[in-house]
Amino acid sequence: MTLEHNIQWIEKNHSVKVSKFMKTVLYILDVTYYGLHHTDCMNQWKGKDYCQTDSITYELNSCQELATYDYSHLTTLVLLCHEKGIRLAINVEQNGKRRNRALYLTFNNRMGKRPGKYSKWKYSQSHPTIYDAIRRLKEHEKTNNI
């Protein structure tokens, strides 16, 4: 199934309208896990209205790995979040509740808002591109002679 088919399925079966932000999060999960059928997000979000929200949480199941190489889900996830300007937080609990062997991915909408010296966006409202993040790391390494 394509991403568009999945979105149509969600809208039809969950009676919600998928927002631009939710569509972007679905795209990120789709690419990261080689298809939404490898995730449980469509069932997890059943009955929840994400049309007016700027924060979406997805619970990873215990067989979904996050790694930087081979199965490079972590790298893909980070790169796509930087590319789309979405803040990603990985937590072991959600709303103060912890489940055994669960990780929560929380996506916060900061799409298209880049921080900068002359930017009108506050730090907490923006997100750097991957190039900005790499540049900052290189500057930090240079400053610390690493």
Q: How much is the pLDDT for 146?
A: 79
Quote the pLDDT of residue 80: 93
For the chain, how many residues are written?
146
For the chain, domain boundaries: 3-111, 112-146
Per-residue pLDDT of the chain (146 residues; tens, 9 = 90+): 788 888 888 888 877 778 888 889 999 998 988 887 777 776 666 666 666 678 888 887 756 678 888 778 899 999 999 888 899 998 887 666 666 667 888 898 876 555 555 455 565 666 778 888 888 889 889 898 87
Write out 68-133 in H/E/C secondary structure.
CCCCCHHHHHHHHHHHHCEEEEEECEECCEECCCCEEEEEEECCCCCCCCCCCCCHHHCCCCHHHH
